[in-house]
Amino acid sequence: GRTKVVVIGAGPAGLTVANLLHRAGIDCLVLERETREFIEQRARAGFIEEWAVRELERHGLADGLLRRAPTQGSFEFRVDGVRHQFDYAELTGHRHFVYPQQELVKDLLTGYPGPIQFSVEDIRLHDLATSPSVTYAGQRVDCDFVAGCDGARGICQSYVPATITRHDYGIGWLALLAEAPPSARSVVFGIHPLGFAGHMARTPSVTRYYLQCSPGDTADDWPDDRVWTQLRTRLAVPGEPIIDGPLIEKRVLPMHNYVLDRMSAGRLHLAGEAAHLVAPIAAKGMNLAIHDALLLTRGIAAWYDGDPSTLDGYSAACLGRVWQYQEFSLWLSDLFHGSRDPFTHQLIQARLRRLLNSRKAAESFAEIYIGQHADF
Ligand code: FAD
């Protein structure tokens, strides 16, 4: 067969690309390794930056988000039993939309009327320099472009002769989903000598928590009792109890990042985690995936209109924001995970005082925490 663009991977990046191409009248085919049921249940991100929502809205892809996602414009640091509220909506005029990733995936699947195949194994790419094709399960599809959106464990990355730079934080986060209402009105970042703890709403009945742990830990090292005791200790403030409930997800994420120095090879262009991973410390990964998807479709549409230059600049345009978000995640990581001895605990306190008492410091932090609006 033949299509214009083969999109590999039906995560936020791939499904955004597919929807935008379809709306631009450019045929595409989506190939996904997992089943539809699986990807519709896969819970990961929850915080979407307002610029990304507005871009999805502009393309008619945000109906579900706008109808169902509550917004949040502040968070709270908890240190030494004290709450410090940080109101970034007041500083920037922008808010996060709280929407479980699998709900966005479902909306994007529903919104996409084009061809998509699930449970596709053994995808291979050929002739990427000139006339690409994709083979799988005895089939062959010729195309003009391949959009490599198959995430951190996909195959597309290996076709790009890029240099990968990596950073390992040397810590783990125990990622938890509790069947329990949120314990606070906003995101909570708990900074504690025992390690970081985080609280993030997902839905009225499901809440995400994180606990810093050793990167080699497994879920078995964290029986439910230990989880709730640690959450209560690290997030403790008077008068705000942690509401527990059955833990429906418990897994250790090793905290690490990587970035490819180029995202394209001939007619193959990577988008999202296929090209760069940022640990979920600052909730940036899905936002970057959407950003790449917007830029990639704009470049492909311009190419069909006779202008190849936008696509030529695709990598550089994406990587600018990627590195801003990497730098921010590292800065935030120092704040969250630095409280290990009395000296660094004091450094963290100094950093927090500057953030909480200087309007200029707060504005600069808030601008990148909520993400900049960009002209697409
Ligand atoms: P993916 O979502 O990984 O999609 C890739 C798709 O490709 C998958 O469907 C996969 O099945 C498919 N695939 C893989 N290999 C193949 C193959 N060989 N052939 C065909 N298909 C293949 N980000 C935020 O912005 N905000 C947050 O609040 C946030 N919280 C997070 C919390 C957790 C616990 C985790 C783990 C991540 C979080 N992230 C967050 C990051 C976010 O989930 C990812 O950045 C996002 O999923 C990346 O989207 P993607 O489309 O690039 O990749």
Q: Is 283's C-beta closer than 6 angstroms to any atom of ligand 1?
A: yes
ipTM: 0.97
Which mutation among 34, 44, 109 tests ligand 1's pocket best, with the greatest number of atoms within 8 A of CB?
A: 44
Paired with 172 in beta bridges are 213, 254
Q: How far does the centroid of ligand 1 lie from the alpha carbon of residue 286, in Å?
A: 7
Which alpha helices (DSSP H) does 70-168 contain, by range?
Answer: 88-92, 101-111
Q: Is 14's C-beta closer than 6 angstroms to any atom of ligand 1?
A: yes
Paired with 72 in beta bridges are 96
Which mutation among 203, 273, 281, 284 tests ligand 1's pocket best, with the greatest number of atoms within 8 A of CB?
A: 273
The CATH number, out of the four listed (3.40.630.10, 3.20.20.70, 3.30.1280.10, 3.50.50.60), of the domain defined by the range 5-72+96-166+256-338: 3.50.50.60
Query: Domain boundaries in the chain?
Result: 5-72+96-166+256-338
Q: Quote the CA–CA distance of 154 and 299 in Å, as a whole number.
A: 23
In sequence order, which residues have a C-beta less than 8 Å from that of residue 58 and are 6 or more positions away?
A: none
CB contact at 8 A, 132 and 266: yes
pLDDT per residue as tens, the chain (376 positions): 999 999 999 999 999 999 999 999 999 999 999 999 999 999 999 999 999 999 999 999 999 999 999 999 999 999 989 999 999 999 999 999 999 999 999 999 999 999 999 999 999 999 999 999 999 999 999 999 999 999 999 999 999 999 999 999 999 999 999 999 999 999 999 999 999 999 999 999 999 999 999 999 999 999 999 999 999 999 999 999 999 999 999 999 999 999 999 999 999 999 999 999 999 999 999 999 999 999 999 999 999 999 999 999 999 999 999 999 999 999 999 999 987 788 988 999 999 999 999 999 999 999 999 997 665 5
**Per residue in 329-356, is it b (16+ CB within 10 Å) or e — as a string?**
bbebbebbbbbeeeeebeebeeebeebe
